[in-house]
C-alpha cells in the first residue's frame, strides 16, 4: 500500500514537471515558425524593393532620354524659328528697299511727266510764234512792190505824199519752258545761297505753274520760310496756312508748318494763336520732330489767361 502511494505521488510529480516543458517547446516552435514567416516576408519585400529600384532606374533612364530628345527638339525648334525670323527680316528689308525704289521711281516719273508737259507747252508756244511770224512775213511780202519796178494790174500806188505803210512787227518766239524740276532746283539754290527775294520769286513761279506737282508742298513751305527771313511775317503766316490747307496728306510738311506757324505768331506776340498751333501739332502728330519741339515750346509758355467772369 505504501508502495502504491509512493508510485502515484512520483507519477504526479513527473507529470507536473513534464507539462510545462512541452508547452515551452510548443511556444519555441511557434516563435520559430513566426520568425521564418517574418524572414520570408522580409525576403519577399527585399525582392520587391529590388524590382522597384530597377524599375525606377529604368524610368529614370527613360526620362533622361526623353529630356535629351526634348532638349534637342527645343534647340531645333529655336534654330528653325531663328532661321525663319532671319528670313522674314531679310524679306522685310528687301520689301522696304523695293518700296523705296518704287517711291523714288514714282517721283522720277512724276518729274518726267512734268518736264514733258513743260516741253509740250514750250513747243506749242514756239509753233504758234513761228506760225504768227510766217503769217506776218507772208503779209509783208504780198504788200511789197515787184522787184523789177513794174506796176501790176492791182490798185494804183499811193501818192508820194501819203504816209508809208508801217513795217510789220514779227513776234518773237517764246523761250522754251523751264521744267518743274529745274525751276524748283533753281529756287532752292537761291534759297540755300541766302538770296531769299529771288528764291521767293522762284517758288511763287513754281506754285503758279505747277500747283499740283509732287514738290508743290515743299515750294509752298519754303516760300513761307523765305518770307520769314525777308521779315514779311503776315505773308509767312499765310504761306504756312496754305501748306496746312492745300497739302493735308503731306504729314512732314504739315506738321512743320504748324510748328513754324506757332513760331512766327509767338514772335508777333500772338501767344494764344501760337499755343493753338503748337497744341494742334502735338495732338495730331505727337511722335514727329515738330510735335516734340512744339511740346517743349508749350512748356515754356505762360499759362493761358483765365476767362473773364
Sequence spans of domains, the chain: 1-30, 79-136, 180-300
Q: What is the mean pLDDT of residues 46-53?
A: 90
Q: Is 134 or 59 the better-scoring residue by pLDDT?
A: 59
Q: What is the mean pLDDT of residues 9-23?
A: 63
- Domain 180-300 in CATH 3.60.21.10: no
Q: Which three cell numbers stand for residue 61?
A: 533612364
Distances, alpha carbon 261 to alpha carbons 201, 203, 207, 266, in Å: 21, 19, 20, 9
Model confidence at 70, pLDDT cuts 50, 70, 90, reads: confident
- Which of 70-79, 81-90, 120-129, 224-233 has the least mean pLDDT? 120-129
HSE (side-chain half, CA atoms, 13 Å) at 291: 12
Residue 101 has pLDDT above 80, yes or no: no
Q: Is 178 or 78 the better-scoring residue by pLDDT?
A: 78
212-247 per-position pLDDT tens digit: 999 999 999 999 999 999 999 999 999 999 999 999
Q: What is the mean pLDDT of residues 297-308?
A: 81
Q: What is the mean pLDDT of residues 274-292?
A: 96
Q: 160-194 in b/e burial notation, b at 16+ Cβ within 10 A?
A: eeeeeeeeeeeeeeeeebbbbbebbebbbebbeee
What confidence score (pLDDT) does residue 166 get? 46
Distances, alpha carbon 63 to alpha carbons 70, 198, 206, in Å: 10, 84, 79
Name the DSSP letter for residue 230: T
**Percent share of the chain, pLDDT over 90:** 40
What confidence score (pLDDT) does residue 109 get? 65
What confidence score (pLDDT) does residue 178 get? 74
Q: Is 219 or 178 the better-scoring residue by pLDDT?
A: 219
What confidence score (pLDDT) does residue 275 get? 96
Q: What is the mean pLDDT of residues 84-104?
A: 67
CA distance 125 to 119: 10
Q: What is the mean pLDDT of residues 58-66?
A: 89
CA distance 137 to 142: 9
CA 160 to mean position of chain CA atoms: 84
| 8 A C-beta contact, residue 231 and residue 266 | no
186-212 per-position pLDDT tens digit: 999 999 999 999 999 999 999 999 999
Q: 77-114 in b/e burial notation, b at 16+ Cβ within 10 A?
A: eeeeeeeeeeeeeeeeeeeeeeeeeeeeeeeeeebeeb
- Which of 100-104, 229-233, 264-268, 292-296 has the least mean pLDDT? 100-104
> Any idea how long the chain is?
309
What confidence score (pLDDT) does residue 295 get? 95
CA-closest candidate to residue 265, choices 277, 255, 250, 257? 277
What confidence score (pLDDT) does residue 177 get? 59
Instruction: Kindly give, in sequence order, each residue whose CB lies less than 8 Å from that of residue 171, ignoring residues fewer than 6 positions away.
Output: 129, 132, 133, 136
What confidence score (pLDDT) does residue 158 get? 46
**Mean of pLDDT over the chain:** 80
118-144 per-position pLDDT tens digit: 666 556 666 776 777 777 777 776 665
Amino acid at each position: 500500500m505504501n508502495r502504491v502511494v509512493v508510485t502515484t505521488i512520483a507519477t504526479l510529480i513527473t507529470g507536473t514537471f513534464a507539462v510545462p516543458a512541452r508547452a515551452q517547446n510548443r511556444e519555441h516552435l511557434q516563435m520559430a515558425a513566426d520568425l521564418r514567416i517574418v524572414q520570408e516576408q522580409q525576403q519577399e519585400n527585399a525582392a520587391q524593393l529590388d524590382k522597384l529600384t530597377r524599375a525606377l532606374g529604368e524610368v529614370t533612364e527613360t526620362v533622361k532620354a526623353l529630356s535629351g530628345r526634348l532638349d534637342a527638339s527645343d534647340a531645333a525648334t529655336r534654330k528653325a524659328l531663328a532661321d525663319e525670323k532671319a528670313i522674314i527680316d531679310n524679306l522685310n528689308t528687301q520689301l522696304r528697299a523695293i518700296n523705296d525704289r518704287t517711291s523714288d521711281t514714282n517721283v522720277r516719273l512724276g518729274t518726267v511727266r512734268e518736264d514733258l508737259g513743260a516741253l509740250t507747252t514750250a513747243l506749242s508756244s514756239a509753233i504758234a510764234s513761228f506760225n504768227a511770224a510766217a503769217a506776218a512775213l507772208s503779209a509783208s511780202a504780198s504788200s511789197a512792190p515787184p522787184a523789177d519796178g513794174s506796176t501790176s494790174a492791182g490798185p494804183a500806188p499811193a501818192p508820194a505824199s501819203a504816209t508809208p505803210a508801217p513795217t510789220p512787227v514779227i513776234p518773237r518766239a517764246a523761250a522754251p519752258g523751264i521744267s518743274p524740276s529745274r525751276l524748283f532746283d533753281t529756287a532752292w539754290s537761291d534759297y540755300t545761297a541766302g538770296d531769299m527775294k529771288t528764291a521767293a520769286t522762284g517758288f511763287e513761279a513754281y506754285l503758279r505753274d505747277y500747283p499740283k506737282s509732287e514738290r508743290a508742298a515743299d515750294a509752298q513751305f519754303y516760300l513761307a520760310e523765305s518770307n520769314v527771313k525777308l521779315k514779311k511775317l503776315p505773308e509767312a503766316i499765310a504761306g504756312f496756312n496754305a501748306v496746312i490747307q492745300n497739302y493735308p496728306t503731306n504729314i512732314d510738311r504739315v506738321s512743320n508748318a504748324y510748328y513754324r506757324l506757332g513760331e512766327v505768331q509767338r514772335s508777333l506776340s500772338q501767344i494764344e494763336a501760337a499755343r493753338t498751333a503748337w497744341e494742334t501739332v502735338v495732338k495730331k502728330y505727337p511722335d514727329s520732330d515738330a510735335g516734340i519741339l512744339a511740346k517743349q515750346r508749350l512748356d515754356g509758355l505762360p499759362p493761358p489767361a483765365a476767362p473773364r467772369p
